[in-house]
Amino acid sequence: DGGITQSPKYLFRKEGQNVTLSCEQNLNHDAMYWYRQDPGQGLRLIYYSQIVNDFQKGDIAEGYSVSREKKESFPLTVTSAQKNPTAFYLCASSRTPDEQFFGPGTRLTVL
């Protein structure tokens, strides 16, 4: 089945820890994105990548890092510099700039 997978579904982080969220797609999409969603709010763009080995900061990149070594994979690291990381993290991919398809999300909680 073609689609976008994210893991883990739930993640708990202690203060000062870095954690990495996985995003994989087998849709052969060039572009991939990371969004953050806080309760009752819309999505905010963290990072996006239009092609392998290239990525750009979104609106709220501080405290996050990404890599794009393979077309299928776009992992997001939440570093200890991100002071309020508790949120729902959504990965998306697109073949065209307009139609973005989302993965199931990872819910991150800071203990």
Partner 1 sequence: QKEVEQNSGPLSVPEGAIASLNCTYSDRGSQSFFWYRQYSGKSPELIMFIYSNGDKEDGRFTAQLNKASQYVSLLIRDSQPSDSATYLCAVKRAAGNKLTFGGGTRVLVKP
Positions touching partner 1 (CB under 8 A) are: 31, 33, 40-45, 48, 50, 58, 90, 94, 97-105
Min dist. Cβ of residue 104 to partner 1 (A) = 5
Q: How far is the CB of 85 from partner 1 (least distance, A)?
A: 19
Exposure of 106 by Cβ count < 10 A (0-12 exposed, 13-18 middle, 19+ buried)?
Answer: buried
Q: Are 75 and 64 in contact (CB under 8 A)?
A: no
Measured from the CB atom, is 46 or 110 closer to partner 1? 46
Strands (E), the chain: 4-7, 10-13, 19-25, 31-37, 43-51, 54-57, 64-66, 76-78, 87-94, 101-102, 106-110
Whose Cβ is closer to partner 1: residue 38's or residue 69's? 38
| Nearest distance in Å: CB 16, partner 1 | 28
Give min distance, CB of 43 to partner 1, in A.
4
Nearer of residues 48 and 74 to partner 1, judged by Cβ: 48
